[in-house]
Amino acid sequence: MTAADISQTSSTTSLATILRRYAGVGAALVALILFLSVTQENFLKYNNIMNILRTNSVMFVAAVGLTFVIISQGLDLSVGSMTALGGVFLAELLTSGVGAWPAIALTILACTFLGAVVNGGLIAYGGFNFFVVTLAMMQLLRGAALVISNGVPASTFMWDPVQWVGDGVVAGLPVPVVLAVLIGILGYAVMRWTRFGRSVYAVGGNETAARLAGINVKQVRVAVYGISAACAGVSAIMLTGRLTSSQPVSAALGLELSAAAAVLLGGASFSGGAGNIGGTAIGVLFLSVLANGITLAGVPSYWQGIATGAVLIAAIALDRIRAK
């Protein structure tokens, strides 16, 4: 085989694998968009599209972090609560006089620290089950958000940088959308082209094999829970800015579950070792467009949960059939 042959077969195969990987959800996304474009006159309006992207950039950023965790064969249920606590922490810092940018940085750092040390530490070094640890942290962090804030929302309206991150415009595009895209690209690149990304896949694919081949599995686990929490921290800033206040009770309720649904829709699986951020982006878009369509069509938003659940089951069933 000549070099030309090889590169040709390799490009056709990778195209084929890409098609196979995304055919299901990707095609469904395209079909959904076409359907809504035809049936809903408001769907294709610039404002509506930007609205979809802006409101879902929080979910996407959280889902990027969660993708790392799920590929490493784990799960982080504390993402939503971490986001809520991040918002409360940010508001506390701001009201106590810390500058806006330092407060933003400190919030993200604090979240990362909590995720890496408590979630990652207990799971990797303590040998605790990830489900138990992150379920406990989901309760604990939400509780901490309530205790710190007394359950009262705090306005962050006066701090421009926070507003800018959550609701600003840069080069004609919403800042949170630009941020989400940048984080998505960064995550994709790390997963695809670094030794760390490869180790996450290896740990999820066969933990023992990864360890015996010289990968420090514990460090990888700490890192993925740290990344997930860091993403939750960014989500917290974006959400607080958009809502112009911290919302200890209601912010990001169930975020971990919708983000996980998006990651799974995007081709990752709980058995680990598979998936990527590109898939996660498609998963998030699909859920967002679906929710938007339901609203536009005037269907009570209570149906959203039913639709999401049904889509998830359909996608996973499809995956099963394709795997055979």
Partner 1 sequence: MSAESLLPLITATGIRKTFGPTVALDNAQAVLYPGEIHALMGENGSGKSTLLTILAGAQPADTGKITLRGQELVGLTPAEARRLGIAVVSQEPQLSSALTVGENIFLGRLPTTAGRVSWREVHRRAAEILAELQLEIDPRAPVSSLSLGRRQMVEIAKALADRPQVLLLDEATSSLDEADTRTLFALLARLRAAGTAIAFVSHRMTEVMEHADRATVLRDGQYIGTRLLSQTDEHVLVSMMVGRDLKSYWHKAEVAQGEALLRMVRVSRGPLKSIDLTVNKGEIVGLAGLVGSGRSALLRTIAGVKRMEAGEMFVNRASVRIQSPRHARQLGIGYVPEDRKGEGLVMHWSLYRNAGLSRVAALRALAPVTERIDRAAYAKGTEGLKVRTSDPRQAVSELSGGNQQKVLIARELAISPELLLLDEPTRGVDVGAKEDIYAQISALVQGGMGLMIASSELQELIGVCDRILVLFQGQIVADIPAAEASEEALAYWASGAHLIGAA
Binding site for partner 1 (CB under 8 A): 10, 13, 190, 193-199, 201-202, 205-206, 208-216, 273-274
**Least separation, in Å, of the C-beta of 202 and partner 1?**
6
Q: Shortest approach of partner 1 to residue 193 CB, angstroms?
A: 6
Least CB distance to partner 1 at residue 200 (A):
11
35: which DSSP letter? H
Taking the C-alpha atoms of residue 57 and residue 91, their distance in angstroms, rounded to an integer, is 21
| Cα within 13 Å of Cα(104), Cβ side | 19
Q: Which is nearer to partner 1, 145 or 210 (CB)?
A: 210
For the chain, how many residues are written?
A: 324
Tell me if 148 sits within 8 A of 154, measured CB to CB.
Answer: no
Chain centroid to CA 214: 29
Q: How far is the CB of 208 from partner 1 (least distance, A)?
A: 5
- Cβ-based neighbours of 237, under 8 Å, separated by 6 or more: 86, 87, 90, 104, 107, 108, 162, 165, 166
Cβ nearer to partner 1, comparing 64 with 90: 64
Tell me how far apart the alpha carbons of residues 63 and 254 are, in angstroms, rounded to a whole number. Answer: 12
Secondary structure element (H or E) that encloses residue 321, with its range: helix 303-323
Could you tell me the smallest distance in angstroms from the CB atom of residue 36 to partner 1? 36
Nearest residue (CB) to partner 1, 96 versus 208: 208
State how far the Cα of 207 lies from the Cα of 240, in Å rounded to an integer. Answer: 38
Q: 13 vs 42, which CB is nearer to partner 1? A: 13
Judged by beta carbon, residue 45 or residue 322, the one nearer partner 1 is 322
Q: What are phi and psi of 120, to 5 degrees?
A: -65, -45
Q: Taking the complex as a whole, how short is the minimal distance between the CB of residue 9 and partner 1, in angstroms?
A: 8
Q: What is the H or E stretch that residue 21 is in?
A: helix 3-39
User: By C-beta, is 215 or 237 nearer to partner 1?
Assistant: 215
